[in-house]
A and B are shown apart, each in its own frame.
Chain A
Amino acid sequence: KAGVTQTPRYLIKTRGQQVTLSCSPISGHRSVSWYQQTPGQGLQFLFEYFSETQRNKGNFPGRFSGRQFSNSRSEMNVSTLELGDSALYLCASRQGNTEAFFGQGTRLTVV
């Protein structure tokens, strides 16, 4: 069974641009969560999607948004990038009473 796949693995963007990251969950998993990891703030929850609906949201500005498709794949978008958005973005999927499985992350660098 394939694990959680995040694409791309690395990304370099310029301030002010926007970016879209993709996450393909484990087959059969309907819940997808996104986390931001930075050296200063650690791992912080962004949002969670379940059956195409946002179920939970963390404390991030509206520039951070996401969506989930009918096949459970999820995308997150960050608009008007700032230097402080440079981070490792992790996606996790889970189904029912199972643990969350994490992807390898997308390393975003904003210059």
Chain B
Amino acid sequence: AQSVTQPDIHITVSEGASLELRCNYSYGATPYLFWYVQSPGQGLQLLLKYFSGDTLVQGIKGFEAEFKRSQSSFNLRKPSVHWSDAAEYFCAVEEVYGQNFVFGPGTRLSVLP
């Protein structure tokens, strides 16, 4: 069955430290890949997406993600975390563009002052 995994349920980092959130998927072909962020009680905001081409994609708020086909991974990174980055992060995939997303379970990020 198609699935998306985010191995880390909760991550805590200090403000200013670097961040990497992991995402792995199991699909036959390369799906369309997304990272969304959700603040408490809010909807989802797109951080970045990968459809094809350059495997390193830049997003909003200083985030980037790298697609690695050999590892079926799409990890999210940020070089220096800000307190306002504390939120829940979801990796999502679409096997066929325009169909429904399959979301990972999410990683909750806490930021220490």
Q: Is the CB of A56 within 8 A of B103?
A: no
- Asked if A45 and B34 make an inter-chain contact with CB atoms under 8 angstroms apart, the answer reads no
- Residue A90 contacts which of B43, B49, B99, B102 (CB distance < 8 angstroms)? B43
Q: Which of A6, A42, A56 contacts B100 (CB 8 A)?
A: A56
- Shortest CB–CB separation between residue B39 and chain A, in angstroms? 10
Q: Closest A-chain residue to B100, C-beta based?
A: A45
Whether a CB of chain B sits under 8 angstroms from the CB of A105 is yes
Chain A nearest Cβ from B90, distance in angstroms: 7
Binds B, one of A12-20, A61-69, A79-87, A95-103: A95-103
- Interface: B63 (CB within 8 A): no
Assign chain B's interface to a size class.
20 to 34
Answer whether residue A24 sits at the interface, using C-beta atoms and an 8 A cutoff.
no
Q: Which residues of chain B (97-113) have a CB below 8 Å from chain A? A: 97-106
When chains A and B are docked, how far (Å) is the Cα of A55 from the Cα of B36?
23
A32–chain B nearest beta-carbon distance, Å? 12
A85 to B49, CA, bound (A): 31
CA A21 to CA B94, docked complex, whole Å:
25
Shortest CB-to-CB span from B70 to chain A, Å, is: 26
Q: Does B17 contact A (CB under 8 A)?
A: no
Asked if B45 is an interface residue, CB under 8 A from chain A, the answer is yes
Question: What are 24 A-B residue pairs whose CB atoms fall within 8 Å in the complex?
Answer: A4-B43, A6-B43, A33-B101, A35-B101, A35-B103, A42-B103, A42-B106, A43-B90, A43-B106, A45-B100, A56-B99, A92-B44, A97-B97, A99-B34, A99-B46, A100-B101, A101-B46, A102-B43, A102-B45, A103-B43, A104-B41, A104-B42, A104-B43, A105-B42
